[in-house]
A and B are shown apart, each in its own frame.
Chain A
């Protein structure tokens, strides 16, 4: 049998998944992927190089001159992290972003998991209508909800003279609560939708077996469902994490004060509005990148698995 014939024979009975896998793992595909990866990484790489160069150099020449005339300075890092002057002291903003992100991820993912379980495995009236309603909420653009939400926080909810909820009157550091709530609200519909699809795929037999074994809904949720949807939970958490970490608009709107300002808001100021110290921007931007990079590298296993979930069986 010739090589071609053998290859032909190997392809008989091949599923679509097999073919896709074979095509993606060919040598040509690998080279193309590598090229794309390098191309895409160049700007980030340049940013990294620039962040390590002295101010004067950044101002007068491109980052690639670094290779002919290497000169390293950590001045910019030092300045943006610890300086008291304008455009410095990013360390505080970094902490703000971390605090915003931790709660802004944990709360929506937790609620989404609970909601997705209820929507997929508890029978109650109006379940489908509720699910479709939540799904439909995704079409509301975030920007449209900003002003209503802001007015709820600052004026409360009233029907005529009747007060449903008084104004919150949050100030200073406490405005961070508004950011948490806003991020949770904006993140929930998609998270519920994705997790619902994932949980729905779990075998019904297993749920029934757990019920017969004497488990209540909360026990089924904790001991059977959660361990089985961990990859999905992780990938949704990563998505939400990246979204909240990189968010500019919500943070700007709901936590405008100095005490709660996230990293992104400061970066924005550096680049645009006042135009001060753009030479320090590379260092500041790199500080903002590091955490997501580390999280992504640690959890990429889940990330890929979560993306593929449902499409490839077994």
Chain B
């Protein structure tokens, strides 16, 4: 259909809105990254590429890059493997009520705000004094540990927490995806003598590739933005910054050290990483994200 007046009526205000709240901030941030920027000062010195040069030699920044990538790769992979498995075995159950029941239980942590549940974990699971982890150690006859003093273990705990908080969502998506595949394919393969695992990997997975691509891309995009649990578990990045990720580093640099120019350079780097990862994923998944 064609109706330019209507299109203009709707789009002009929307585009202006998006320019202000979505496009302009990116440009604005890029601009700030060339300054020694502190909004309380009336004069902010222009530094050129100085902030970016500083990135190259900033140890904490590279640790944060490394941790962000480790966190995303490990957590996303584990998430997809676990959720596919759970979705598959749930879909095998014969009773609909039972399927719904387990799906609902698994989904409950997703409903609760991340800050809230990570706080519950911080005290109830990881807490030095009477936390579940230390009690399990105690049952095994080992002395309790202060987990906030650990390095990779703390990051691993945050990954496990994130999985706990987030798998329900993908389980729901995958069960729907599996159920969307017509039964006939599966039955035909079974007649051909393919075992259940083989049938799942070589028939169901390709047939639900669209769901798979959507889940993988959204989960990845989502995990790059994870922030709240890092704020709760390791606000200062943990011991030797072993749980420092880019989102938290940006926050810390801009709102604790008030070094907004440099923080903007870190933000630009995060943007580049997300962009590159999205491109790679796009290639790998052949996902149809473009127009039509």
Do A and B interact with each other, yes or no? no
Chain B interface (Cβ < 8 Å from any Cβ of A)? none
